[in-house]
A and B are shown apart, each in its own frame.
Chain A
Amino acid sequence: MSKNELVILDCWASPFCMRVKIALAEKGLDYEERAEDLFGGKSDLLLTSNPIYKKVPVFLHDSKPLCESTVIVSYIDETWPAPALLPSTPYERSQARFWADYIDKKLFDSTSAIWKASGDDAVEGAKKEFVEVLKVLEGALGEKEYFAGDAFGYVDILAIPITSWFLASEKFGNFKVEAECPKLSTWIKRCMEKETVAKVVPDPEKIYEFVINLRKMFGIA
């Protein structure tokens, strides 16, 4: 019989860790959060649990480790089925997985490219690409409240943490997501009103400060 000891190796600013924490909160599960010092020195547990990527999040279920946030969120949904995060039919699930894949490939990298860029041309180019990604997502959302319809679920959980990094991009790129994608902006506000999300996702101002430090560390002007 499983003891159900749940541990997450975490970094407060990581949108990928936030995904896992939101999923656990949606399921009403208790877990231990262990903060990793990603720049000062990763713990032995992190290095042995995730030898391939050496990244957070790592989720441990009764000491059995899992890595990669999308894999972890799917695992949580399958192990504790209620309330369901993925839709119920195979077709709707394929759509959810398609958008999860798109978000994983495009969203964080395109928003980060803005604050990583140096020079006006590079920033403008990065901004253009990011807005294109947002418009595709806005199209996928359509008139629905959440990506799968009426209920907050899998795709929302994977996307919403990354939006906490948007303010940093807006400040370095000198633009506003709300002006470019009002419907997506409304979806962001709607998700942030949920208790499970609000408790996990930090104030974007704090992420902005974190990004300022990252830029200093990477030697970006």
Chain B
Amino acid sequence: MYFLIFFSMPFPIFFSLLAAPRPHNPPAHPPQRGTPLGARRKRAPGPPRGHTRVPSPPFPSLPFPSPPEPSRAEPCRGQVARAAAAARGRAAQGRSRSASSAAASASSAAAWQRGGGGQAPAVATQSRAEPSRAEPGRASSGRRPPAPVAMSGAAPGAPKPLPSSGPKSLREMPHPLATSSSEEMGPALSPSPDLLLPRGIADKDLSLPNGTPVDTSSPASSSSLLNRLQLDDDLDGETRDLFVTVDDPKKHVCTMETYITYRVTTKTTRAEFDLPEYSVRRRYQDFDWLRNKLEESQPTHLIPPLPEKFVVKGVVDRFSEEFVETRRKALDKFLKRITDHPVLSFNEHFNVFLTAKDLNAYKKQGMALLSKMGESVKYVTGGYKLRSRPLEFAAIGEYLDTFSLKLGTIDRIAQRIIKEQLEYLVELREYGPVYSTWGGLEVELSEPLEGVSACIGNCCTALEELSEDMTEDFLPVLREYILYSESMKNVLKRRDQVQAEYEAKLEAVALKKEDRPKVPTDVEKCQDRVECFNADLKADMERWQNNKRQDFRQLLMGMADKNIQYYEKCLTAWESIIPLLQDKPETK
């Protein structure tokens, strides 16, 4: 949608809205489908008014991932097609970026640092991929609970993704929470004064990256507004308006079955929610249902993975504390990733999942609701064969293949290490007591030998803790990303299908050689779909890449930390017995 603004706005006005002249790059990605509000969920009927439709050229090749420029949020330039797609005016919810990184990394950071107990508050930090280089001072860890928004300027000098100033003045921007079907440029609506401003550089609405709408009611000076808009990634969740936590697992024993439920707590200021707070209990099935619904309703987006459904009975105890806790963390991360996603978090199913007292009743209405919401976005895979994947998506596919391969290797290595450590532990457990036995034989050496025995015992305990932590915190995250990669590859395939369908239909039309003034509607619709899909996918990929980097950074730092702690514990133990060993006994 940036494109719309860009193209239809006279340049001088455009530039005056900026704090400083900067190279303009089109925003990260065009707005995605699946808008947050009910009204906006309606698909744009056609090309935006006043815009000449430009037939999409074949997708040019792009290096992937996007070159690491500071303004990472910007898509590749010169993507006229994307501009056209953007111009369709789907209200974007913030930038496709790092939304889930915060929560994901926050919770995993917490898991590592707090030894897995308790969840970190679902603080979102829009950590930026590249700009973090330019802003070395910013701490991306150490997330704090929402604090009053510090609307001071962001780190200077770092080129930021463009705030969504557009051709129209800010006042004219339709408010993201407007209930009119204004996906395209509609009249500006006065926003509700209670609402927080959306952050984000989404098409024509001013929203900060996490979806908080920008308050356009007050005559904001361009600089202060810009300041606020620039804050996106800097705010440690102060302007987040949706927080979800999964905790408090409980076992339920019924006649038919025994299962675990988890408490899902929501705190929000969003208008889509009737209440500011919700607390419901959900079981794994419900999460699974949610994920399926999200995949159905948002097929162009990357849906986060769930922990594995089936566990081999007898091998893993489904009701053991460790298993339940590992699963809880994974479910929590799942919901947080959705919460952070500018499109998925506004999904109706998600809303219901978080709020409904009786989810089962809602599930049953499923079919009815589906049609009501007008999700005619079924991508029927008509079995079309794609000739070739555009280079950029091929690159994504290749990347995912290698990535999941490497992760698989790391998983195996980590498991092997844990196995070796446990075998080492077995021997150590025999080793320590022998010193004690020896001590029993001796007189003068008795204390030193006992000391060594105790010391080895302490090392055993430390090692045990290390292995446990690695099993509970490290391996699950690896597996999660492997699952993620798999589901992403499926989305890529779906995209291929959509493109194939379009190309086939286009070809059919071309063959007819009829003199038609314009391309038939259904072919146009296909093209729309392709462009939407590509745009959504690219946006999500970028977000995913950034989150992935954050997650792995945290994960690996955590692994290093645990090992450091292990050695520190052992060091303390050995250092403490040196004085004991050197002690001269009382002369008899």
- Do the two chains belong together in a single complex? no
Q: Which residues of B contact A (CB under 8 A)?
A: none
Q: Which residues of A contact B (CB under 8 A)?
A: none
